[in-house]
Amino acid sequence: AQKITQTQPGMFVQEKEAVTLDCTYDTSDPSYGLFWYKQPSSGEMIFLIYQGSYDQQNATEGRYSLNFQKARKSANLVISASQLGDSAMYFCAQFSGSARQLTFGSGTQLTVLP
Amino acid sequence: NAGVTQTPKFRVLKTGQSMTLLCAQDMNHEYMYWYRQDPGMGLRLIHYSVGEGTTAKGEVPDGYNVSRLKKQNFLLGLESAAPSQTSVYFCASRHPPTGTEAFFGQGTRLTVV
Q: What is the mean pLDDT of chain A?
A: 94
> Could you read off the pLDDT of A53-63 as tens digits, one per residue?
999 899 999 99
pLDDT at B97: 65
- Count CB neighbours of A15 within 10 A: 13
Span B12-36, average pLDDT: 96
In a 3-state reduction of DSSP, which class is residue A114? coil
B90 contacts in chain A (CB < 8 Å) = 45
Question: Could you say which DSSP state residue A12 is in?
Answer: E
Q: Nearest Cβ partner of A107 from B31, B42, B58?
A: B42
Cβ <8 Å between A107 and B31: no
pLDDT at B108: 97
pLDDT at A1: 66
Span B7-30, average pLDDT: 96
Span B47-73, average pLDDT: 96
Closest CA to A66 of A14, A23, A6, A110: A23
pLDDT at A96: 85
Closest CA to B94 of B66, B64, B74: B74
> Could you read off the pLDDT of A63-92 as tens digits, one per residue?
999 999 999 999 999 999 999 999 999 999
Q: Render the burial of B14-30: b for 16+ CB within 10 Å, e for the rest.
A: eeeeebebebbbeeebb
Q: Nearest Cβ partner of B58 from A37, A52, A101?
A: A101
Cβ <8 Å between B102 and A91: no
Cβ <8 Å between A104 and B104: no
- Contact B61/A at CB under 8 A: no
Confidence of residue B98 (pLDDT cuts 50, 70, 90): low
Q: How far apart are CA A23 and CA B78, in angstroms?
A: 33
Lowest mean pLDDT among A56-65, B56-65, B91-100: B91-100
A50 contacts in chain B (CB < 8 Å) = 100-101
Higher-confidence residue of B96 and A42: namely: A42
Predicted confidence (pLDDT) at residue B35 exceeds the cutoff of 90: yes
Which pairing describes strands B64-67 and B87-94: parallel, antiparallel, or unpaired?
A: unpaired
Please name the residue of chain B whose CA is at the shortest distance from the CA of residue A88: B40
Confidence of residue B79 (pLDDT cuts 50, 70, 90): very high
Predicted confidence (pLDDT) at residue A2 exceeds the cutoff of 90: no
pLDDT at A23: 98
The counts of H helices and E strands in chain A are: 0, 12
Q: How far apart are CA B41 and CA B52, in angstroms?
A: 30
The residues, ordered by sequence, that sit 6+ positions from B62 with a Cβ below 8 Å of its Cβ are none
Which pairing describes strands B108-112 and B10-13: parallel, antiparallel, or unpaired?
A: parallel
* Phi, psi (degrees; rounded to nearest 5) at B20: -125, 130
Span A87-107, average pLDDT: 92
pLDDT at B69: 96
Cβ <8 Å between A100 and B44: no
Please name the residue of chain A whose CA is at the shortest distance from the CA of residue B51: A100
73-92 in B: which are within 8 Å (CB) of A? 88, 90, 92
Alpha helices by DSSP H, listed for B1-113, are none
